[in-house]
Amino acid sequence: MNEPVRRLSVVILVMFLVLMAGASYIQVITANDLNADGRNVRTLYREFGSFRGPFVVDGETVVKSVPVDDPFNYQRTYADGPLYAAATGYYSIVYGRSGLEQTENTLLNGSDDALFWNRLGDLFAGREQEGASVSITLDSTLQQVATEQLGDQRGAVVALDPTTGAILAMVTSPTYDPAALAGHNTEQVNENYQELLNDPTGPLVNRAIAGDTYPPGSVFKLVVSAAALESGYKPDTEVYAPQELDLPGTSATMTNYGGEKCTSGDTMTLADALRVSCNTAYANLGMSLGWGVIERKAKEFGWTDQIDIPLRAAASNLPVDPNEAQTAMASIGQYDDRATPLQMAMVASAIANQGTLLNPYLVDTVRAPDLSVIQKTEPTEYGQPMTRADASKLRDMMVGVVDNGTGTRAQIPGVKVAGKTGTAETGTDAPPHTWFVGFAPADKPTIAIAVLVENGGDLGAAGKDPTGGVVAAPIAKAVMEAKLAEDGDL
């Protein structure tokens, strides 16, 4: 019976070799994939064991990790959580990370290559690994004002410094408190998350950059104007502006807001057409320019491009190969045109900055635990969608909108404000989305802004006819005013 015993021993040896191979496969070959798996909370737990760097706004720490006496060692705390949620995102043991907590994760937890020497020092000194602090470009006052102005209305505000691209305000409404998801009580966090998720108003959605993109409506006329100026039009060029415009190839006609006439005659200047936001004029202008020209211009402003600020902003959409009637609709920001509030703020910013568009960014400086600066965002150019001359012409046209057009409610005494209103049909029975895009002071802009209020906000809900000039313009005005007051320009 010895021979079969020997053979069995070999079989047993093979069995154990298979086990060893199995263990090696898991622990060496697929280890990286398993460690990176989103369902693997271990990585998160390991991070909770070390000090995570804070977020700083205006020199104040708004998000920090404080030591607690539980297995996670540190509790992430959010001062003014809802105010900065759109930028910071959350840091949850159950749901992982979002926002800057996600994009700046390696810096915050200290594992980034930029922190290599700090880590080495910590190792030798026997200190715990510490993360870097991330200072955000947001301006707390503007953030506050924009939040108050939006109130309970659904919408978003994005304000940029047109000369640098720094994001001064990014507000989405309604929002949430990241603290509700940062707790260490899994059950409570689950419950809070489900509540946010099931909330029909979508508080977890960042409407400023990554919510549903919105039809831009008349604010898109800025892009068409830029294309027209480039094609040789001047602000005083007379354009065809009938009361009703036949849409080629269809039996439909296009009218202006409320069916009004834009002008007593059949033509008006381009500047006037923008000032009163004349739909028929721009639809006709778009058809005569051709969609290709408008499309190229829109892309220069950022449409169809995915922009990381470093949060991933949804790409704004343009129609593909529209026919003439569709081109007419798209020229007034309807049909398949879609934009994020960030995109519209970028349009304002480019016009404000003499035609040069800078990349928008949220992270200002990153400091190592010893406060040495390890990263500082330098303004970079996204592109040059307009010439300096065209930009100043369009700026003057936009000043006309606020001085004596649809955007008068954005006027700030003593300061020239440039702007454009938008009232975009949603394609449903719901009230239109209301927009305001602008910048101030017009001759030396320090802030470019886009305001979106979904479905006309309170006014829309009350059954009144909301317009961008009535609903969105005052919000933009308040934010711009706050910025000007801060700079001593008032």
Partner 1 sequence: MATVAEIRVHQGRRSEVALLAIAVMIAVLARGLVDYHADVLELRDLGLYALTAVALATTAHLVLRRYAPSADTVLLPAVFALNGIGIAMIRRIDFAYAERGRDTTFGNVQIGWAILGIALMIGVILLVRDHRVLRRYTYTAGLVGLIGLLLPLFPVIGTEINGARIWIHLFGRSLQPAEFAKIALVIFFAGYLVTNRDTLALAGPKILGIRFPRPRDMGPLVLVWLASMLVQIYERDLGTSLLFFGIFLSMLYVATERLSWVIVGLGMFVAGAAFAGTVFAHVHSRYEAWLHALDPAVYASGASEQLVRGLFGMASGGLLGTGLGEGRPDLVPYAESDFIISSLGEELGLTGLMAILTLYVIIVQRAMRTAIGVRDGFGKLLAVGLGFSLALQVFIVVGGVTRVIPLTGLTTPFLAYGGSSMLANWMVVGLLLRISDQARRPSQVVT
Residue 187 CB, nearest distance to partner 1 (Å)? 13
Least gap, CB of 139 to partner 1 (angstroms)? 41
Q: Is the dihedral of CA 410, 414, 415, 418 positive or negative?
A: positive
**Pattern 44-83, binding to partner 1, x per CB under 8 A?**
-xx-----------------------xx------------
Check residue 197 for interaction with partner 1 (CB under 8 A).
no
Residue 12 contacts partner 1 per CB under 8 A: yes
Residue 205 to residue 445: CA distance in whole angstroms: 30
Nearer to partner 1, 30 or 201 (CB): 30
Count CB neighbours of 486 within 10 A: 15
Query: Should residue 371 be labelled a site residue for partner 1 when binding is judged by CB under 8 A?
Result: no
Residue 31 contacts by C-beta under 8 Å, 6 or more apart in sequence? none
Quick one: 19 or 66, whose CB is closer to partner 1?
19
Q: Which residue has the tokens 């036949």?
A: 246
Residue with tokens 């508080």: 203
If you ran DSSP here, which 8-state letter would residue 235 be given?
A: T
Determine how many CB atoms are found less than 10 A away from the CB of residue 428: 8
Taking the complex as a whole, the smallest distance from the CB of residue 13 to partner 1 amounts, in Å, to 7
Q: Which two tokens stand for residue 137?
A: 């470009």
* CA distances to 223, 262, 472 from 331, in Å: 9, 17, 21
Residue 436 token pair: 């305001």
**Options 39-47, 92-100, 274-282, 333-341: segment touching partner 1 (CB under 8 A):** 39-47
Q: Give dist(CA 9, CA 226) in Å, integer.
A: 83
- Only one of the segments 12-20, 128-136, 144-152, 195-203 lies at the binding site for partner 1 (rule: CB under 8 A); that segment is 12-20
Q: In terms of CB distance, is 45 or 117 closer to partner 1?
A: 45
Q: Tell me which of 20, 120, 373, 430 binds partner 1, using CB under 8 A.
A: 20
Helix ranges restricted to H, 303-386:
324-330, 341-352
Q: Judged by CB under 8 A, which stretch of 17-25, 54-62, 205-213, 216-224 contacts partner 1?
A: 17-25
Residue span 212-251 as binding mask against partner 1, x where in contact by CB under 8 A, dash where not: ----------------------------------------
Q: Confirm whether 218 is a catalytic residue.
A: yes
Q: Which two tokens stand for residue 230?
A: 């480039």
Contact 407, 381 (CB under 8 A): no
* Residue 2 Cβ vs partner 1, minimum distance, rounded to whole Å: 5
**Minimum CB distance to partner 1, residue 315 (Å):** 27
Q: Which residues are catalytic?
A: 218
